Each structure stands twice: as C-alpha cells, then as structure tokens.
Amino acid sequence: MTRRFAIAGVAGTFFTLWQKRRRQQIVLTGRAMGCGWKFLTDEPVDQELTRREIASVIEHWEQVLSTWRPGSDLCRFNRGEAATGDLREVLALAESLYHDTQGAFDHRLLAKLTDAGFGPGGSGIDLSSLGKGYALDRVAERLATRGVRRYVISLAGEVRAGEGTWPVGIEAPVIGSGPVVETVDLSAASLATSGNVRQWNRRDGERLAGHILDPTTGTPVLRPPCSVSVIGPSAALASGWATALFVLGPAGTDLAGQHGLRVIWHGRPDGSPPDGPAGKIPPRQPANPVQD
C-alpha cells in the first residue's frame, strides 16, 4: 500500500511513504517559515508533544534567520547590532559554503535580491537559502534526544530522513505542478531542491528570471524551466549547494561530487533539447545504503 504526501517546494518536491503493514504510520503537519511542514514516523511517539517540539524548533530558527521579521537576529545584525550565538553558527556555515562553492553561494546579496523584486528591502546578509534546511537539522537533533530515529520530515523543498528507507519523489520542473520524474531512497540523509518554476517574475524568451541570483552580476539566473536536487548529510548543506549549483549549472556537478554530494538535474538548465544530457545527470541510483 502506498501513501503520497505532496510538499509545495521551491522546485516542486514531495515524498512518498511506502506504507509497511507491520508498522503504524503517524503523520504530523504544520506551517512555518511561510510554508508547510510534514513529519512521518513509524515509531510510537507522543503526537502532541512531537508536534509542539517541531513547531518550537522551527519557530526559534525563523526568529533567528528571517529577513521579513524586523526583530529577528538577522535583521538586527543587518542594522549593525552584534550577531547572536545562533546567528554566528549559520554565518560560519554560509562563509564555508561561499568558499567551497567558489563563490556561487553568496549570502551577501540582500539588496540585489530586493532590486530583483524578491527581497523584503534593506541590505546586508540573506540566509534564506539555508534557513529551512538548518531548521530541519536542528529538528533532527531534538528528535534524537527523544529517541525518535525512524522518520522523514519536510519543510518546503527540503527533506531530512532518519533511519529506515523513505522514498522521495522529485517533480518535473513545470510551471504550476508537474509529474514525478524521479524517486530516490533517503536513509539518514537529506535532499534539497532549487529551481525556477515556483518563484519567478519575468521571462526572457523561454528562460525564466527566478529568485536565485548570480553573484557575479547581482541579477537573477536566467535558465529554461529546470531544477537541481542535492543529496547530502545535512539539510542545510544540501540546500546551500542546491542554490550554488543552480548558479553554476551542470558544469558544477563535479565540484559538488568532490564534496561527497549527489546531484540530480531535471529540465533543461543549459538550454539543451528536452531529451538532451542535462536532464539525465546523473543516472538514477539509490541515495545511500538501505537501513531497514
């Protein structure tokens, strides 16, 4: 028996739970960071306590990282106040990603993002590409302290899986919504997807101007409808690298591989024909060994 749960993500991802008759499934949902979250487990948990704890952790990190809340740690930092300890942690990760991606991930583009029609105003640091993934990683830590091991949780286009095997479906990058074009098995791993079919505000021929900026120009990356998914050990790393790879295009796949990440492209990021190589990188394979 199969149960599917849709996630409204940046590039359109959702996860599919293949229900096992020997285990009872628990599904919890909520809203945070302007989107929905879903949590699935086949372990017995206190549902109300788990829901409250997930919501509390995500709310905490939204208050740290939001560029839309004037009183957030990040907004205060952008106005010249000292960074809090929590904010310093994420800033350090952002600097590391900037270095590892050779500048393709750049968190210092808030003013340019506003100029492009996507930002809240102001200037300084924007950590939106890390916020949801980082929050999911902290949720995973909280769940571990409570002994919850077998689960999968999503927040927009970011997914983090604990022990067990959790099939995750990736939608075709089609404006509106598209069919599932690939399914990967996540086990103790994370997946994040970036693309241009959910947040865009103008066309240049068949290319879309989305919310991801090219740091070298400070303007939106122009590509035909496409998406890139990254599988890695943490949701924050996967999310940051997905953003960077959308800037770099398929040429950046090898760079991500050097950091132990799996990369999946869909659509036509380099403008090749629909059946060209860009939509077939890499060949379909399990995300990691099954732990069941």
The CA-atom distances, in angstroms, between 240 and each of 47, 56, 93 are 31, 23, 9
Q: Which residue has the tokens 């949902």?
A: 29
Angle between helices 128-145 and 85-100 in degrees, nearest 10 = 120
Record the tokens describing residue 110, joined without a space: 């808030």
The amino acid sitting at 224 is P
Residues of the chain with pLDDT under 70: 1-23, 200-204, 272-292
The pLDDT, as a whole number, for residue 210 is 85
The pLDDT, as a whole number, for residue 211 is 87
How remote is the C-alpha of 66 from its chain's centroid?
16
10 Å Cβ neighbour count for 11? 29
The pLDDT, as a whole number, for residue 98 is 98
The pLDDT, as a whole number, for residue 119 is 83
Residue 205, phi-psi category: left (phi > 0), alpha (psi -120 to 50), beta (remainder): left
- How many Å apart are CA 223 and CA 132, to the nearest integer? 24
Bridge partners of 28? Answer: 39
Q: Of how many residues is the chain composed?
A: 292
CATH of 2-280, one of 3.30.420.40, 1.20.120.420, 3.10.520.10, 3.40.640.10: 3.10.520.10
Q: pLDDT digit string (tens) for 112-166?
A: 999 988 889 899 999 999 999 999 999 999 999 999 999 999 998 899 999 999 9
The pLDDT, as a whole number, for residue 149 is 96
- How many Å apart are CA 74 and CA 62, to the nearest integer? 10
| Confidence (pTM) | 0.87
The CA-atom distances, in angstroms, between 136 and each of 55, 88, 239, 267 are 11, 18, 11, 27
